[in-house]
Each structure stands twice: as C-alpha cells, then as structure tokens.
Amino acid sequence: MENLDVMVLRTLRNWRTAGQRALLATVVRTWGSSPRPVGSIMALREGGAVVGSVSGGCIEDDLIYQYTQAYASAAVGAADKAIPSGPPIFVKYGVSADEAHRFGLPCGGTLELLLEFDPDAAGLAALVEGLEQGQLMQRSVRLADGSVTLAAATSPAGLALSASALVNTFGPEYRMLLIGAGPLTEYLATMALFSGFAVTVCDPREEYRSAWSVHGARVLSDMPDEVVAAFKPDRRSCVIALTHDPKLDDLALMEALATDAFYVGAIGSRRNNDARHQRMAEHFGIGEAALARLRGPIGIYIGSKTPPEIAVSVMAEVLAVKNAVTLPRDMEVGWAKDERRVAGNPADELICGVIGGSAPA
C-alpha cells in the first residue's frame, strides 16, 4: 500500500485534471486528544467520494453532508449541497462536549481544518511528480486567495500555520530494505506495506527468492552490500538484516550504518549481536558511535515465538523509532531477556524469536 499522503494527492490531481469539483482538507490545529495528527489530509470529490482521513470517520461524514449532495438527495435544499468556490476557510470540530460526542472525537478533543476548494490541477500534478521522483516537497497556501507555491525542501518539517499562509511538507515515502527473503521477511514486508512503506527485499539465494509470495515488494538478487549502496538510505529509510548469515548481513549493515537511515537492525540473540559488534569492530574498524546505532536484538518484548509475532514486534519498534517514541525499558528485548532469565527462564536465550526477534547463538 502506498504512502497515504501521496495517494490522496494523486487521487485529487486525477479528479481535478478530469474537471471534477473537489476540496482538500488539512488538519491544522488540535486540542486535547485527536484521532489524526496535525498535517493529516483528505480529499472530497463532488458526489461524495473521499480519500484520506482527518478523523475516525464522523467528520468525514459531516464534510460529505455539508459539501456534496451524497447524503442530501432527499433533503430540503439538496441543490445547495455543493462544493463552493473561493478562498480557503477554517472549520472547527469538537468545540463543545456535545460536538465531541456527535463527531466521535475523544473526550475533550478538538480539531481545526483548513478547506481548500478546487485546488489547481497543474499545481497538484507538479507536486505529485516531485513526490514520485523521491523529492521532499514544500507546499505553501496563501490564505487570502488559496494560491499555491511549491518548492523542493531540504529536510522533513511539521506543518506551519501563520496569519497569511499554511506550509505543509510532503514525502518522500518511507522505505524499508530487508536482507533475506525467508518467512519472517514475508510477514514483516506485509506489515510494512500496509503501514505505507515502500519495501525492497534483497537475497542472492535463489532457493529463498523462488518462494517469495508478497505482492508489492521489490525483490533483488544482488549482494546485499551492493543493494544498500544503490538504495541510498536516507532519513526516511530503514535497513533490517534477517538472514542470520554474517556473510550476507555484516557488509550490508556496515553500508547502512554509514547512511542517514533512521533504523538499522539485525535479527539475532544478544550473543549473536555481541559477536557481530566484535567482528565489525575488529575486522572492519567500525567505531563505537556507528555500532551504537545498530539495533539488536530487534523488536519489542511481546513474548514472540512465531514469525508473524516476531514481525509484529519488529514493526512496532520500527514505527516507534520513526515516530520518535522512546520505548519503556521493560519493552526492550535485551533488558526483558535479563529479567526473564533472573526469573527462571534461561531457555529464552536459545529460542529463535522468543522475545521480539531473538535467535540462536
């Protein structure tokens, strides 16, 4: 599944290019609990079609009712239910407890949207083209008249709202590179795809590649270190080694540690991880600062015993790091394994994947 923002903007571009009326809604402020973060977008087309999300669904339903005839065909004044023209407007939901209940917002939750009516098709096409080429794009909307300015951005940034303009930064999509094409990789790739990551899998071993069955992931047969170099990981990329084979994993991890990848990790027990650190330091001269970025054992502690459970554990950790969430200590695999061993579970160290991606020594 592709990045949600890109999907929304591409669909909106197609609607506007076809001459259809549409609006773009952006979450610009939230107070208290909110179902969607600032910067979230959705598009609404005449007739009621929606792509994207700004809430759990109730606000989308209200926008459909307010700006299309989809829910008003039998109502008095149905002819007035249409997407208007003119400059952007702000709308606020959940101001009172009654509204919060009506629109399905969490208790005390309030959010404000900016609605842009009939965004320019050419501007949307240029924005989507930049995103499809891997560019980080900044979109500025002048509040007085809705005119849009596009520019390439140098770094990710949160939404910025001033008295005169809204500035939102989009893309490029998050990417995941997986080394090894075994069963665990298939589960992790599936979860990454529906989480909006573009997934690439690398495995030079034909016997593993031939059994690959996950649609939507790109599968390569080159040596992993060469794939990492060509992949050019950036701050929206993660690299995870899953083969248990140092000949395949180590060089690829070394390449990844020299990049801006936000997450670099490898499957394996603590003993395997310690041995990997020692090999990379002694034989390849990798410094302590770089090795400190190498995650292992990977995943969070959920008592994982099967490939799908281990994949859930690893994907949860990847998303936590992506979202800048510090995990509690009792969810870290290494610490949890120590605690379980003290409590009388010495076998944990020996079972592949028992705790969020552990493996035999």
In this model, does residue 336 exceed pLDDT 60?
A: yes
Domains recognised in the chain with CATH numbers: 4-170 (no CATH), 175-350 (3.40.50.720)
Contacts of 153 (CB under 8 A, 6+ apart): 136, 137, 138, 169
Instruction: Tell me what the mean pLDDT of segment 32-48 comes to.
Output: 85
Q: Is the peptide bond before 307 cis (omega within 30 degrees of 0)?
A: no
Greater pLDDT, 328 or 147: 147
Contact 181, 206 (CB under 8 A): no
Instruction: Write the pLDDT tens digit of every residue in 151-186.
Output: 999 877 889 999 999 999 998 778 999 999 999 999
In this model, does residue 360 exceed pLDDT 80?
A: no
Whose CA is closest to 343, among 298, 301, 299, 310?
A: 301
Q: What is the pLDDT of residue 71?
A: 47
Q: What is the pLDDT of residue 3?
A: 73
196 φ/ψ sector (left φ>0, alpha ψ -120 to 50, else beta): left
Question: H-type helices in 46-182, by residue range?
Answer: 58-67, 97-102, 121-132
- What one-letter code names the amino acid at 279? R
Instruction: Write the pLDDT tens digit of every residue in 279-311.
Output: 999 888 888 888 999 998 899 988 888 999 999
Whose CA is closest to 253, among 264, 267, 269, 238?
A: 264
In this model, does residue 347 exceed pLDDT 80?
A: no
Instruction: Tell me what the mean pLDDT of segment 56-61 comes to.
Output: 81
Distance CA 189, CA 177 (A): 9
Whose CA is closest to 232, among 179, 273, 195, 177?
A: 177
Q: What is the pTM of this model?
A: 0.69
In this model, does residue 352 exceed pLDDT 60?
A: no
Contact 128, 12 (CB under 8 A): no
- What one-letter code names the amino acid at 347? A
Q: Which two tokens stand for residue 199?
A: 């997934």
Q: What is the pLDDT of residue 95?
A: 60
Locate the DSSP E strands across the chain.
Answer: 22-31, 41-45, 50-52, 89-93, 110-117, 137-142, 148-152, 160-161, 165-170, 175-179, 198-202, 218-220, 237-241, 263-266, 294-295
Q: Which pLDDT band, with edges at 50, 70 and 90, does 353 fall under? A: very low
Question: In whole numbers, what is the pLDDT of the chain averaged over residues?
Answer: 85
Contact 92, 110 (CB under 8 A): yes
Q: Which two tokens stand for residue 247?
A: 């000949």
Which whole-number Å values give the CA distances from 64 to 28, 80, 301, in the listed order? Answer: 19, 13, 42
Radius of gyration of the chain (CA): 24
Beta-sheet strand order (sheet of 148-152): 148-152, 137-142, 165-170, 160-161
Beta-sheet strand order (sheet of 22-31): 50-52, 41-45, 22-31, 110-117, 89-93
- DSSP-derived pairing of the beta strands 50-52 and 137-142: unpaired
